[in-house]
Structure 1
């Protein structure tokens, strides 16, 4: 590879981009040494935040374990195995709920790939079939019946940068993943998302994160095992109290993922690793992470360029379809943003946040299987990044745009 070529994740492999006529900087976080997920989970369970798991779960308990869905690259099988071997209950007392939120159900093959020997215990969450377990600030906290009926609720999770929660993981796997529209409508609505503390990489004084944690006090989890990751893979695990787990791993993630950037760029070329490249809903996160993060490096009128396959088009879940409907029916980003400030359906928040970014910047999606969907959604499609980036541009290459904090 020559000095003016750059490798980005693309599908199961990489895409090499050549920018010989551009001034290029590359934002590569420090990362860290990858660890074996199962070994890291075992070590975390040996030294949890709070009581150990075998003191949380009693022998006669019915246990519900909520795991992440196919949109998260969480090593769920390893985390579940580490927990299950320490539980003082028989296997037939364990139910696994796939935390879909408003995403599409997982297929049998995806469940098998994600959970292996535990796939037979798993069921897709249905956000229309939920049970209320209480209220927070007048908002009904509703969860999957298996969660509501369980004596003990456990969870896996991925603590990674999140546009609203600061970092994902902790109680979010249960409250959102196994939750219902009232919570998603409140947490992802325009009023809460407009709060200044709701931002990428921020946990303290973040109203979104605070609400999720309080809802988790009602719904669970009682105990969780989460991991965080960097460019090289899983960097660490933590177990126990959900708040403490998120705080622990967020610190690890910040150290591994932060890159200081100075000046302004004409374009940011960002990589979107699988599984986030499956659809436009997920891929568009990379654009808003760059443009609405702590330090937006793109000049006014500049662009973010993202190669992504998009085999699912805009996405197949309820939220993804609402995202597409809002953007594809809008006359402009300004029009969509102003209309959605008055309110929108749960799941459509990605359209609201993306429209906010599109008011001042362009987003180009290249190399996709569905360029017509990209164009429908007020963005630009191109066959390659070289086509989307003008010669002579000052370019910042961010090989892993969803796992890099630009500060």
Structure 2
């Protein structure tokens, strides 16, 4: 079988194992631009053209290189709608929602945004300014967003470890936000609350906090898509809460796979862009073990093929993740220590430590095996070298877009 690796694939053969493949039902792919046009023409709430006026400064916050969002096509549609509302292109600033990830370089921006790259600026969280508070926590925004008359966002509604599904207000308040809201929402107190779970939107305190922060930030209009194994499946536009609810329902239908809980190993595929660094790659392990249904027996292992050309990652959050894991003597000790608190970005070390208390994680086929070993995980040259003969193995070819659920 083939599993994703970077922009390509790797052949995997496990002839001495009993192998089950978790393929979600998927769905029929749609053309992103046409789906976006339909969504903008029939939004949740008033059309974007009716929400703006000539002379308005508009900030459009888009996703960064860690999300496979067709932002060039979405911007085409949004800019056309803004023009219909009387907004000149020169009055639009596109802010790349980095959160605490590294800035995108010029080539990446051109690749992501096409002819609209000239409108783009990388977000700098250190320059964010306060616009209000949620639960006493400052909501800070990129100055271009804070000063805008109208705030618009793109986004990918896909499974998310904490928010249930990403997208909606999250693109703005985290992607174009400051450290306080990231620290608050990603801290141990929030992540330990009931309802903070992969695949859950309703009754999820993390999601609800982001939505309220989105109201403070003044998110006027969202245009989001969701995807499955076949590609982009659907688009929705308008009020950010309704957009997430609609696309999360579409995603659950397309991505859920019922599984038992007795496997010796799970082989979890990632591929580009998420396997560029260990920070993003470990999502596969946490999505497997901390979702609705952990398919592993006690002591079972998770195996993830990933290229890791950026090592642990180059942003502030990725460096904090690496520092925490590489400086720990054991996962259990690190987890207990981090229950007392940590800086933004380090939350991924916290949830990885939670998984590593119960399961070994093997990262294979990477360019950065030393980084993997530093971070309490195991590096192997191949998937075959990481799976013991005779194992019952669940293969999840697209682990970040598969929801493992109870039968």
Q: Does TM, scored on the shorter chain, surpass 0.5? A: yes
In 1, the alpha carbon distance for the partners of 2:135 and 2:369 equals: 42
Deviations 1:265-312 (A, max 9, x none): 000001102100000000000000000000000111110000000000
State the match for 1:24 in structure 2. 19
Q: CA deviation at 1:16?
A: 1.1
SS in 2 for 1:44: helix
- Over 3 Å counting, the alpha-carbon distance change for 1:338 and 1:263 in structure 2 is closer
Deviations 1:317-366 (A, max 9, x none): 00000000000000000011011000001110000000000000000000
State the match for 1:36 in structure 2. 31
SS in 1 for 2:125: coil
Conservation of the 8 A alpha-carbon contact between 1:311 and 1:370: yes
Deviations 1:58-95 (A, max 9, x none): 11210000000000000000001101011121111000
In 1, the alpha carbon distance for the partners of 2:89 and 2:189 equals: 43
Conservation of the 8 A alpha-carbon contact between 2:311 and 2:368: yes
Moved over 2 A (4+): none
Q: Which runs of 5+ in 1 are unaligned?
A: 1-5
In 2, the alpha carbon distance for the partners of 1:342 and 1:297 equals: 29
Are positions 1:215 and 2:213 aligned together? yes
In 2, the alpha carbon distance for the partners of 1:35 and 1:14 equals: 24
Bigger Cα displacement from structure 2, 328-337 vs 8-17: 8-17
Deviations 1:83-115 (A, max 9, x none): 101112111100010000000000000000000
TM-score, length of structure 2 as denominator length: 0.98
Q: Pick one of 117, 128, 131 that aligns with 1:130.
A: 128
Deviations 1:110-131 (A, max 9, x none): 0000001110000000000011
In 2, the alpha carbon distance for the partners of 1:44 and 1:59 equals: 23
Q: CA deviation at 1:263?
A: 3.6
Q: Pick one of 38, 45, 48 that aligns with 2:43.
A: 48
Are positions 1:184 and 2:182 aligned together? yes
Q: Pick one of 224, 231, 234 that aligns with 2:232.
A: 234
Q: How do 1:102-113 residues align onto structure 2 when only pairs under 5 Å count? A: 102-113=100-111
Conservation of the 8 A alpha-carbon contact between 1:175 and 1:220: no
Bigger Cα displacement from structure 2, 360-369 vs 216-225: 216-225
Give the count of matched residue pairs.
402
Q: Pick one of 4, 7, 19 that aligns with 1:9.
A: 4
State the match for 1:116 in structure 2. 114
Q: Which runs of 5+ in 2 are unaligned?
A: none
SS in 2 for 1:66: strand
Deviations 1:222-264 (A, max 9, x none): 1010000000100010000000000000000000000000241
How large is the Cα RMSD of the aligned pairs?
A: 0.5
SS in 1 for 2:167: coil
Conservation of the 8 A alpha-carbon contact between 1:154 and 1:220: no
Q: Pick one of 269, 276, 299 that aligns with 1:278.
A: 276
SS in 2 for 1:60: coil
SS in 2 for 1:97: strand
